[in-house]
Amino acid sequence: MVASLAVSEMAGAQPEEKMNSIYARLKLRVPVATYVLMLMLLYAIAASQAVWSFAYKWTTIANYPEYSLEKIMDGSSPKPYAFRVLVPDAINLASNMVPEQFSGVLIERSRLMLEAVLGTHYTGMLNDRLALGYALAMISAFLFLFLTLILFRATSILYFEKTQVSKVVQDFSPIAYALLLTISYRAHNGFIYDHFEIFIFSLYILLKKRRMFFLSISVLILAIFNKETAIFFPVFGAVIAWSEERRLTGKDLGRIMIESLLVMAGFVTVRIMLMDHPGSSTEWHFFTNLEFWLSWYPLFAITTPHFPLLPLPKPSNIVISWALLLMIFGYWREKPREIRALLLIAGLINIPLFILFCYQDEYRNLSLMFPFLYLATVHTSLYYFNVSVRAEK
């Protein structure tokens, strides 16, 4: 009798405990879901703000016929821009697949934006096909930047241990990156493959850190047809593999060799395909850049990333350049060895290319440094806040 009563009580308690467990999980998951949703909304707003700044500055589509949107989309732009075939081809393909009821809305919104950025005169110069291409280019730029912010957060979590403040810093640092990106855009400059380049490189870094070799191969195929800078990606993959144990195994060397051969094959393929295309393989700007960087202008340069009434200092401006450098190189000895190595290798590769072939302050061409500049500044913030918390205790 007593035994049967105990069994019935246990049976009655089991559903109640189950309900309590479900309720407890919901109490935990609803705030987490709300936090993640709001964080993604903030990332989307920051990315859209940066893309608006990009669109506001990207006036080459109308002011410079040689680099116009039409020539980029039909493949008649000169070399080296003609080599970057992936994004224009993808947009052309997507343009043909967009249903008519949606394409009309996109074209209308595209013309409204072009009118706001360029003026009515230039807007009328673009036919419906180009207006649709412009809309898809801006949407894709937003999407790739938004995904890059998520990738940056995921990568920083892999590199830095959890502390009292790390979650807040890691969650909100991507927003700061997107907002700072707006002051890097140069007037009369920028191309539709720029944001994809940063995205695909960030994805490659994350995959290499997670040792997902076969996925990284797929990423490299896309990257090399987007921009020739992908030939350097395996160098960073090698640094990541080396940093973990201060050596490269035979397996690591084999994978690096495969990746290197793959990107070189893609590099050569694109150049053979466009061998007879007008233009040159590179644009030499060394002496122009030397004159520019040795002048006073970079120290006092300003930019208007959103509209002319609100000027902001450019990254080289003496008002903020010292602060940016401190954010990057602060607590240098305390930074993870891998981040220091990656940043130094990126600088050794990217800065000479920047001085030789990029025009004046085209900061977008420092893209191979962006993920590591980001990680370095996140570390500085984490270390600073951790030191402050310990000091208060």
Q: What's the pLDDT tens digit per position in 338-350?
A: 999 999 999 999 9
Distance CA 172, CA 35 (A): 12
Is 82 among the domain residues? yes
Handedness of CA 175, 176, 178, 182 (dihedral sign): positive
Is 284 among the domain residues? yes
Per-residue pLDDT, 126: 74
Q: Could you give the angle at the alpha carbon of 367 between the alpha carbons of 365 and 373, nearest 5°?
A: 130
Percent of the chain clearing pLDDT 90 (strictly above): 59
Here the tokens at position 330 are 């602060």
Per-residue pLDDT, 388: 63
Handedness of CA 271, 276, 277, 283 (dihedral sign): positive
Is 19 among the domain residues? no
The dihedral region occupied by 77, where left means phi > 0, alpha psi between -120 and 50, and beta the remainder, is: beta
Alpha carbon distances (Å) from 36 to 146, 153, 331, 334:
14, 12, 30, 30
Per-residue pLDDT, 5: 47
Per-residue pLDDT, 227: 94
**What are the pLDDT digits (tens) for 201-256?**
999 999 999 999 999 999 999 999 999 999 999 999 999 999 877 788 888 899 99
Is 40 among the domain residues? yes
Per-residue pLDDT, 155: 96
Q: What range does the domain containing 311 cover?
A: 24-392
Longest dimension (CA), the chain: 99
**What are the pLDDT digits (tens) for 102-142?**
888 998 888 888 777 777 666 666 788 888 998 999 999 99
Q: How confident is the model at residue 393 (pLDDT cuts 50, 70, 90)?
A: low
Is 13 among the domain residues? no
Here the tokens at position 383 are 């270390």
Given a contact cutoff of 8 angstroms between Cβ atoms, the answer to whether 67 and 176 are in contact is no
Is 118 among the domain residues? yes
Q: Which residue's entry shows tokens 């030499």? A: 284
**What are the pLDDT digits (tens) for 27-74?**
567 788 889 999 999 999 999 999 998 988 777 676 677 778 888 888
Is 154 among the domain residues? yes
Distance CA 324, CA 258 (A): 37
pLDDT at 144 over 70: yes
pLDDT at 178 over 90: yes
Per-residue pLDDT, 257: 95
Q: Quick one: average pLDDT of 152-168?
A: 88
Q: How many domains does the chain have?
A: 1
Q: Quick one: average pLDDT of 86-100?
A: 92
**What are the pLDDT digits (tens) for 352-371?**
999 999 999 999 899 999 99
Is 218 among the domain residues? yes
Q: Quick one: average pLDDT of 82-100?
A: 92
Q: How confident is the model at residue 149 (pLDDT cuts 50, 70, 90)?
A: very high
Per-residue pLDDT, 121: 67
Per-residue pLDDT, 288: 94
Beta bridge partners of 303: 312
pLDDT at 265 over 80: yes
Mean pLDDT for the chain? 87
